[in-house]
Amino acid sequence: MAGFHIVVCGGMVPDPLQSLEPVVGPDGPALKNEAMLPMVLDPWAAHSLYEAAHLAAHAPGSKVWLVSLGPKARLQQLMMSIAQKVSFELVALDGAAGGFSDAYEIARALAEAIEGIPDLDRTRLLLFGGCASAARDAGVTMSMVAERLGLTEQFLGVDMLETDGDRLRIKERVEGGRYRISECDAPPAMLAWATGTLPIPPNNPQLGMQNMRSIMPALARAKSIPLGSGDVAFGAVERPVQRRETRVVKDMPPEDIAREIVAWMREG
């Protein structure tokens, strides 16, 4: 066994604890005060990065790359915290990180960046990423990247990966709270992760300093990616309307409660 070449696709998103307000700017839809919002690595992509690092640590000869698209200055801020978690080599793309970019454009940029990674062994490739995104939740980005790279073995909603040599045993979420167990004889393959099984790694300042030695040159080489040049247009952007109607009633039979809820849903 020669190990795996694991490429993780993960972008930055606003911290989920922040209040987000969409606005229409001169360049199209955006978030109000977006430049001031604290950013984090997309939660689903973060799970896939932790799983990738864990797999690489237990498969000698493996290597992990993180391919991330975002404004270069914001990426640098983000990497200063992510670099302390796990060991990886950064492939940076300088472009917009908002939630209004077309998944097709994002997938094309990511696939081209992956194809340009030196010494990447496509026969050993495991493509990791999130099954969803806190920003671009089209649910198709990873599959589109995989198709561009010619990866036909694709697994979505992955929660667990076990390896025995080259053989992969994959646990995927399916409807009804159930799991599907799949086996893949060997890479290459694409795995879009849900939550995985690993906790968030603790910070390791020494690891962070080691990673930053390669991250800073990668940021300096980051290719500028123009987005929003396609045919996608937004008619309007607005915050979802909150609706709350509360009525306190005592000793009401469950059948009547269910009947009122159904009637309310039909009216809405």
The sign of the CA dihedral 136, 142, 144, 149 is positive
Rounded to whole angstroms, how far apart are CA atoms 130 and 166? 23
- Note the pLDDT tens digit of each residue in 46-80: 999 999 999 999 999 999 999 999 888 889 989 99
Return the bridge partners of 162, or none.
Answer: 169
Tokens representing 56? 């690489």
For the chain, where are the E strands, in sequence order?
Answer: 5-9, 12-14, 22-25, 28-31, 39-41, 63-70, 89-94, 125-130, 154-164, 167-174, 178-184, 189-193, 223-224
Question: Could you tell me if 3 and 124 are in contact, meaning their C-beta atoms sit under 8 angstroms apart?
Answer: yes
State residue 73's pLDDT score: 87
State residue 132's pLDDT score: 83
Domain 5-224: give its CATH architecture.
3-Layer(aba) Sandwich (3.40)
State residue 84's pLDDT score: 94
User: 138 vs 229, which has greater pLDDT?
Assistant: 138
Rounded to whole angstroms, how far apart are CA atoms 241 and 203? 39
Distant-in-sequence, close-in-space partners of 206: CB < 8 Å, separation ≥ 6: none
Distant-in-sequence, close-in-space partners of 19: CB < 8 Å, separation ≥ 6: none
- Note the pLDDT tens digit of each residue in 74-108: 899 899 989 999 999 999 999 877 667 778 888 99
Its pTM stands at 0.82
Rounded to whole angstroms, how far apart are CA atoms 22 and 35? 13
φ, ψ for residue 179, nearest 5 deg: -125, 150
The sign of the CA dihedral 122, 171, 53, 134 is positive
Question: Could you tell me if 83 and 233 are in contact, meaning their C-beta atoms sit under 8 angstroms apart?
Answer: no
